[in-house]
């Protein structure tokens, strides 16, 4: 049987989505200047009599930087696994574990009348009552769990698939210590089997509620949590498995995440992503409480171009012949007009080439 509950701390979080515009659409939207049909050269000195004072111009600077689109969508935190704790009998709920509590083997999760429900480690759900004479892997699982909890100090129980008298005696000792009738048999709802560390995720009924045997009382969530999000295809194409994203929690804190899966959804217009929280070490290795059901904002940047020269879109002049011009203010106060071919566009920034870094561009 595998080791139970390896430390598993997890915690679990933008910028507005920008659309890449076509060059023609950009100029239409921004209305960046009147046509100047007289400009015939790609780079010409205006060469006219004395230029106006430099202070009369409004200028912007050409800058070397990355162009990146910012994406943001919403997602929901879910536990990678959940299971219910059921009532062991007809009666009144008199005790229940608090939400967020970390559950360990031997912990009592619910008490109905005087009957507790106890957690043990294992992988096989309690699907039947167990008693003397039963045979099966679930018998062996029970023996291992109770021996691990210290109810076979002398090693009298042979750990196997047979429910022997020694097994019944060990069960009776456990029942006696738990305040149960020492019958030596185990009811299917007396025990909750957990394959990993769980936390109490939600209460389905309050203390004092009248319940029936088998009613679900508490939900247990696996400590490991993920974010599930439906991402529009146009945004999802910029993501791959293993990509880093930011996860912003409701308290506005942001934690790192990583794309685990990307799959087709029932809606062809979206992709369903599973996003894991990146481990962050804690001083005491505390287990993160369950955030199941919480909505988080997922954001990431899509780099369109790296280390390129950029100019604000409203610095261009659009000529009648369809070409574009940038007017550069020289140090002596003269103006040189450069014919340019705009490149990639993100938001209000346009990639250009052929200009010196830091050039002062006159806004039309």
Q: Which residue has the higher pLDDT, 357 or 298?
A: 298
Range with the poorest average pLDDT among 32-46, 106-120, 123-137: 32-46
Same domain, residue pair 167 and 204: yes
Please tell me the pTM assigned to this model: 0.60
- Residue 79 in any domain: the answer is no
Length of the chain: 364
Instruction: Give dist(CA 293, CA 141) in Å, integer.
Output: 32
* Mean pLDDT within 187-194: 95
- Tally of domains within the chain: 3
Q: Which of 41-55, 285-299, 348-362 has the lowest mean pLDDT?
A: 41-55
| Pairing assessment for the beta strands 108-112 and 91-96 based on DSSP bridges | antiparallel
Q: What tokens were used for 208?
A: 């004092």
- State residue 358's pLDDT score: 85
Q: Does residue 215 share a domain with residue 106? A: yes
| pLDDT the model gives residue 250 | 87
Q: What per-residue confidence (pLDDT) applies to 77?
A: 92
Residue 110 shares a structural domain with residue 203? yes
- 1-45 pLDDT, tens digit each: 444 333 333 323 233 223 333 334 343 333 333 333 333 333 334
Q: Are residue 232 and residue 252 in the same domain, yes or no?
A: yes
Q: Between the CA of residue 199 and those of 161, 186, 221, 285, what are the distances in Å?
A: 30, 24, 5, 15
| pLDDT at position 235 | 94
pLDDT at 265: 81
Residue 122 and residue 196 share a domain: yes
Do 44 and 67 lie in one domain? The reply is yes
Q: Is residue 5 part of a domain?
A: no
Task: Compute the distance between CA of residue 191 and CA of residue 209 in angstroms, rounded to an integer.
Answer: 20
The CATH number of residue 52's host domain is: 2.40.420.20
For residues 39-59, average pLDDT? 50
Task: Note whether residue 277 is domain-resident.
Answer: yes
Give the span between the Cα atoms of 54 and 335, in whole angstroms. Answer: 10
Q: Is residue 12 part of a domain?
A: no
Residue with the larger pLDDT of the pair 290 and 163: 163
- Together in a domain, 143 and 264: no
pLDDT higher at 26 or 60: 60
Instruction: Give the residue-averaged pLDDT of 88-100.
Output: 94
Six token digits for residue 110? 């619910």
Top-confidence residue, 114 or 24? 114
Task: Tell me: do 215 and 130 sit in the same domain.
Answer: yes
Query: Does residue 276 fall inside a structural domain?
Result: yes
Query: Across residues 105-123, what is the average pLDDT?
Result: 95
Residue 124 clears pLDDT 70, i.e. is over it: yes
- Do 267 and 316 lie in one domain? The reply is no
pLDDT at 64 over 80: yes
Helix intervals (H) in the chain: 23-30, 137-148, 165-178, 233-236
Is residue 309 a part of any domain in this protein? yes
Q: How far apart are CA 143 and CA 159, in angstroms?
A: 6
What proportion of the chain, given as a percentage, has pLDDT over 90? 62
| CATH number, domain containing residue 121 | 1.10.101.10
Average per-residue pLDDT for the chain: 83
Distance CA 62, CA 235 (A): 29
Can you give the residue range of the structural domain that contains 123? 88-219
3-state secondary structure of 178: helix
Q: Is the domain of 96 the same as that of 112?
A: yes
Q: How confident is the model at residue 180 (pLDDT cuts 50, 70, 90)?
A: confident
What pLDDT is attached to residue 55?
Answer: 56
Mean per-residue pLDDT for 99-111? 92
pLDDT in tens, 323-337: 999 999 998 889 999
Last residue of a domain, one of 168, 189, 219: 219
Is the pLDDT reported for residue 207 higher than 90? yes
pLDDT at 290: 61
Boundary (domain end) residue, out of 219, 242, 267: 219
pLDDT for position 18 = 33
**Could you tell me if 241 and 263 lie in one domain?**
yes
Q: pLDDT at residue 271 above 70?
A: yes
Rounded to 10 degrees, the C-alpha dihedral 333/338/340/342 comes to 10
The pLDDT score that the predictor gives to residue 248 is: 93
**Mean predicted confidence (pLDDT) in 317-321:** 92
Residues 136 and 115 in one domain: yes
Asked if the structure places residue 82 within a domain, the reply is no
Of 204, 219, 234, which one is at a domain's C-terminal end?
219
317 assigned to some structural domain:
yes
Q: What angle do CA 355, 360, 364 make, to 5 degrees?
A: 100
Question: In the predicted model, is pLDDT for residue 169 greater than 60?
Answer: yes
Looking at per-residue confidence, does 204 or 53 come out higher? Answer: 204
**pLDDT by residue (tens digit) across 274-287?**
999 986 544 444 44
Q: Quickly count helices (H) and strands (E) in the chain.
A: 4, 23
**Two structure tokens written together for 293:** 């059901």
What CATH number corresponds to the domain at position 276? Answer: 2.40.30.170
**355 burial class (0-12, 13-18, 19+ CB within 10 angstroms)?**
middle
Q: Which residue has the tokens 């993160």?
A: 288
Start-to-end C-alpha separation, the chain? 75
């Amino acid at each position: 049987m595998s080791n139970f509950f390896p430390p598993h701390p997890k915690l679990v979080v933008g910028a507005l989505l920008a659309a890449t515009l076509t060059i023609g659409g950009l100029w239409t939207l921004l209305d960046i200047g009147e046509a100047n049909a007289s400009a015939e050269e790609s780079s010409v000195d205006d060469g006219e009599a004395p230029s106006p004072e430099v202070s009369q111009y409004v200028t912007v600077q050409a800058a070397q930087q990355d162009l990146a689109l910012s994406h943001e969508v919403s997602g929901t935190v879910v536990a990678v696994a959940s299971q219910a704790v059921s009532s062991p009998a007809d009666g009144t709920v008199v005790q229940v574990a608090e939400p967020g509590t970390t559950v360990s083997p031997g912990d009592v999760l619910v008490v109905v009348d005087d009957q507790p429900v106890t957690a043990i480690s294992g992988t096989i759900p309690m699907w039947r009552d167990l008693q003397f004479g039963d045979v099966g892997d679930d018998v062996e699982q029970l023996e291992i769990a109770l021996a691990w909890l210290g109810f076979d100090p002398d090693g009298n129980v042979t750990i196997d698939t047979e429910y022997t008298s020694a097994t019944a005696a060990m069960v009776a000792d456990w029942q006696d210590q738990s305040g149960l009738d020492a019958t030596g048999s185990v009811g299917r709802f007396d025990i909750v089997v957990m394959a990993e560390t769980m936390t109490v995720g939600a209460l389905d009924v309050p203390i004092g509620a009248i319940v029936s045997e088998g009613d679900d009382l508490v939900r247990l969530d696996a400590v490991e949590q993920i974010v599930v999000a439906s991402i529009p295809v146009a945004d999802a194409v910029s993501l791959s498995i293993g990509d880093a994203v930011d996860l912003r929690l409701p308290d506005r804190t942001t934690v790192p995440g990583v794309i685990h899966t990307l799959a087709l959804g029932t809606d062809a217009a979206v992709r369903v992503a599973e996003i894991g929280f990146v481990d962050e070490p804690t001083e005491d290795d505390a287990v993160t409480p369950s955030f199941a059901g919480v909505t988080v904002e997922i954001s990431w940047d899509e780099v369109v171009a790296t280390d390129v020269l950029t100019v604000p879109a409203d610095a261009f002049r659009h000529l009648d012949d369809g070409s574009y011009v940038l007017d550069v203010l020289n140090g002596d106060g003269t103006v040189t007009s450069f014919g340019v071919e705009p490149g990639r566009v993100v938001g209000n920034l346009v990639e250009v080439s052929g200009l010196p870094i830091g050039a002062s561009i006159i806004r039309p």
